[in-house]
Amino acid sequence: MSNSPQRLMGRSALVVGGARGIGGAIARRLATEGARVVVADTEVEAGTAFAASLGGPDRARFVETDISQKADAERAVAEAVTHFGGIDIVVQNAGIYPWTLIENIEPDEWDAVMGVNLRGTYLVARAALPAMKAKGYGRMIFTSSITGPRVTSPGHGHYSASKAGINGFIKAAALEFAGYGITVNGIEPGNILTEGMKAGRSAAFIKGMEDSIPLGRLGTPDDIANAALFLASDESSYITGTTIVVDGGQTLPESKDFRLTPS
């Protein structure tokens, strides 16, 4: 990938779930590369402040968005079209991940996870499609996960199903949208050291996770943002219908005894 700056100059982007964490890192990376960015999130105070940190209203804007709702998805896209003259890049990063064993998941909780993670993916793609079709250009990027498509753990039945569903949607959308000059891809993060993980997990837990990763560290939000930048740029113009796994090699070992001591 080229190290030249401003590779997204003249582009407009919508980052859903962009107020903090991985989404915030993606929004900041796209803005740094010249894109005008709409930050969409349910967190109004954090989202408003974060968008302001990216520049004035001619560079970045915030719109309160529950991406599981059709009207909200359409309003978020309209924010970019109205104020930035169109929409070139969509990143759907919003996701929820309650921990509940399958036997205890109530239908309402199942529906809530699917609503944000999977329905939200479909709704924002559908909302952005007309503007991208009119332009003959688009980059759609969806945050999936290694959890579901490749691995899982107890308590994440609904989350795993939603993320596996995102990967299936990526393939279908990529095929349907290819003729309009629109690429559709995803990112499968491994364990990423976000603010939430630092606050909610013990040092011992984090160390145990690090020990399971061949590269010896958890990922950072910037690791995911770098992958998103590549998929948002023209450097990925011949890539569609696939995902990039960003997990430090976590999904590679056959067993926990995988480390070699260099001699």
DSSP state, 156?
B
* Tokens, residue 211: 């020990």
Q: Is 263 exposed, middle or buried (0-12, 13-18, 19+ CB in 10 A)?
A: exposed
Using N-to-C axis directions, what is the helix angle for 70-84 and 120-135, rounded to 10°? Answer: 30
Which helix (H) or strand (E) segment is 141 a member of? strand 138-143
- Catalytic, out of 97, 159, 180, 238: 159
* Adjacency order of strands within the sheet including 182-189: 60-64, 36-41, 12-16, 89-92, 138-143, 182-189, 243-246
Task: For residue 189, count CB atoms less than 10 angstroms from its CB and return exposed for 0-12, middle for 13-18, buried for 19 or more.
Answer: buried
Residue 180 a catalytic site member: no
Beta partners for 61?
Answer: 38
**Contact by Cβ (8 Å): 37, 59:** yes
**Six token digits for residue 223:** 């690791």
Residues designated as active site? 159
